[in-house]
Amino acid sequence: MYGQMMQQPLLISSLIVHAERHHGDREVVSRRVEGDIHRTTYKQIAQRARQVAQALANLGVCLGDRVATLAWNGYRHMELYYGVSGSGAVLHTVNPRLHPDQIVYIADHAEDQAMFFDLTFWPLIQAVAGRTKTVKHWVAMCDRAHLPADAAKLPGLLCYEDLLAAQDGRYAWPEFEENTASSLCYTSGTTGNPKGVLYSHRSTVLHTLAAALPDCLGVGATDCVLPVVPMFHVNSWGIVYLAPMTGAKLVLPGPGLDGKSLYELFESEGVTVSAGVPTVWQGLLAYVDANGLKFSTMRRSAIGGSACPPAMIRKFLDDYGVRVIHAWGMTEMSPIGTAAAFKVQHVTQTAEQRLAVMATQGRAVYGVDMKIVGEDGKELPWDGQASGDLLVRGPWILSRYFKDEGGNPLVPDADGHGWFPTGDVAKISPEGYMIITDRSKDVIKSGGEWIGSIDLENIAMAHPAVAMAACIAAKHPKWDERPLLVVMKKPGAEVTKEDLLAFFEGKIAKWWTPDDVVFVDAIPLGATGKMQKNKLRDQFREYTLPTA
């Protein structure tokens, strides 16, 4: 027997339709690349998103085609979020911090048909435009007056505002099956080339509902939300979806992510909730401290991407009255998996006991199931002591990478259920609070962004004086982790640290460059000839980087 409820698909367009109908006058404020502050509303965003959909159709973009963006957090980027996905195309947000070679690879792998970009990235666009195979349309996200002076260098360059001005916005959002692909993000948190994570309309709407819950980000119509986390990083943790759904005011910081710029927006716009990686908050707190300032409206800050130091959690709470929501997730998880929200028994606990709860990665939000397993694959107890590989499953968690890269990543259990291996090692308390204790992956997480150690090793070992190289994570007070290159020279060869670091120039994104190089007589190898990087990590566990 089936229930007798309406069959209405969960589509991303429904979020902006709801916002237009019920929160149409709520503001969306953006710091633009042009330098000014721009104000619009959800009603105007919805209208222009329909114009985006019409423009895409006129450019020949069809259901399932990928449309890429290289853009900051801003109202035009938000219009693309809804105009692209709402029309049935797939929004592909590209991380501009990647090396041009990686961007070319990703654009080709995704088979992007169009690329929309903020003016900041004009030099990057010029570096990749002649190398991509499928991109037919390049669109500068500005008006005609702000087109680059040397726009003629890219024949056929289109102007975003001109495209929209040619449309009337009389467009009905199409209905299609809710499992239709909606957006695509590539993760470099794996070995080898970045892999695509293809989200669906259903997974995105369900993730949005869960993220807005009181024990997650807890956003409502009286809030003002400023996502510092970029819209090119896992869909800005879903905030650009949940703000219009709940009717919260949305403030988009554009390229101004320094402490001064963020603080000015927080105060002038009455921000109550924000979200970002720890390195951003370090810069903000340093500015606030140095100038003897306070937060007049902000009350909650979601911090994820990498572990938030307990000292930062304490400082936010004790000095500024801001509660940190420590969260954990992955690109493969849309991304939210856990949030460190209190349970009723914590209300009467001491401040130190509550701080200990806030310092964990939190407990699973509804929709996410998790477990830890030992080397034998058997589930370990939630006793706060046992540590094992963390596996997850749920309706917004990846089942396969785009185009089946890497094959089936899921780990089956005795009942045949597939679990996604996160690559993290964790323990879980009896109350369900998860603590990351280590990472089984060899990638390095710097300021919330992944750096592939194998890529760095391959470049180093291409140097004629290097016999073997291993890249490991070293602790850093600001970036959490930075790459440390461990090198064994060829017999009789000579090379300096400066020589090796210079060898990386032009081959990778500059911020991927190792912070230091150490030379050793030998690199430990296992029985199969693989480098035992766990032993190197132990050896250099307390190593102090020159940049620390």
Residue in 389, 388, 408, 390 with CA at minimum distance from that of residue 398: 408
Distance, CA of 12 to CA of 80 (rounded, Å)? 12
What whole-number distance in Å separates Cα of residue 439 and Cα of residue 390? Answer: 10
The CA-based angle 233-458-506, given to 5 degrees, is 65
In whole angstroms, what is the distance from residue 518 CA to residue 389 CA?
A: 30
| Cβ-proximal residues to 215 (8 Å cutoff; 6+ apart), any chain | 339, 341, 365
**pTM of the complete model beyond 0.75:** yes
CA distance 10 to 206: 8
| Cα–Cα distance for residue pair 379/426, rounded to 1 Å | 12
Active site (catalytic) residues? 187, 332, 445, 450
- Tokens of residue 36, six digits: 């000014």
Nearest C-alpha neighbor of 433 from the set 381, 372, 382: 382
Closest residue by Cα to residue 9 from 216, 213, 175 = 175
Strand-strand pairing, 388-393 and 418-428 = antiparallel
Residue 456 burial (CB count, 10 A): 22
pLDDT for 529:
56
Q: Is 486 helix (H, G, I), strand (E, B) or coil?
A: strand
The answer to whether the CB of 187 falls within 8 A of the CB of 330 is: yes
- Residue 491 φ/ψ, nearest 5 degrees: -55, 130
Cis peptide before 309 (omega within 30 of 0): no
Spatial neighbors of 500 by CB under 8 A, at least 6 apart, are 460, 463, 466, 485, 487, 517
What is the secondary structure of 113-161 as a DSSP string? EEEEE-GGGHHHHHHHTTT-SS--EEEESS-GGGS-TTGGGSTT-EEHH
Rounded to whole angstroms, the Cα distance separating 302 from 316 reads: 11
Which region holds residue 24: left if phi is over 0, alpha if psi is between -120 and 50, else beta?
A: alpha
Of 472, 467, 458, 465, the closest CA to residue 517 belongs to: 472
DSSP element (H, E) containing 106:
helix 100-110
Which pLDDT belongs to residue 297?
98
Radius of gyration of the chain (CA): 24
Structure tokens at 164: 């929209």
**Residues, the chain:** 548
**What domains sit in the chain, N to C, each tagged with a CATH number?**
13-336 (3.40.50.12780), 367-439 (2.30.38.10), 444-539 (3.30.300.30)
Q: Give the C-alpha separation, 336 to 210, whole Å.
A: 9
Q: Which residues contact 452 (CB under 8 A, 6 or more apart)?
A: 188, 190, 191, 192, 443, 444
Q: What is the pLDDT of residue 452?
A: 74
> How do strand 66-70 and strand 90-93 relate by DSSP bridges?
parallel
The answer to whether the beta carbons of residues 543 and 481 sit under 8 Å apart is no
Q: What is the residue-level pLDDT of the chain in tens, covering all 548 positions?
A: 999 999 999 999 999 999 999 999 999 999 999 999 999 999 999 999 999 999 999 999 999 999 999 999 999 999 999 999 999 999 999 999 888 999 999 999 999 999 999 999 999 999 999 999 999 999 999 999 999 999 999 999 999 999 999 999 999 999 999 999 999 999 866 567 889 999 999 999 999 999 999 999 999 999 999 999 999 999 999 999 999 999 999 999 999 999 999 999 999 999 999 999 888 898 899 899 999 999 999 999 999 987 888 889 999 999 999 999 999 999 999 999 999 999 999 999 999 999 999 999 999 999 999 999 998 999 999 999 998 999 999 999 999 999 999 899 999 988 888 999 999 889 999 999 999 887 776 768 898 887 878 778 889 988 999 988 999 999 999 999 999 999 999 889 999 999 999 999 999 999 999 999 999 999 987 644 567 888 899 999 999 999 98
> What span, in angstroms and rounded, lies between the C-alpha atoms of 209 and 211?
6
| φ, ψ (nearest 5 deg) of residue 20 | -65, -40
Distance of CA 298 to the CA centre of its chain: 22
d(C-alpha 28, C-alpha 12), whole Å: 18
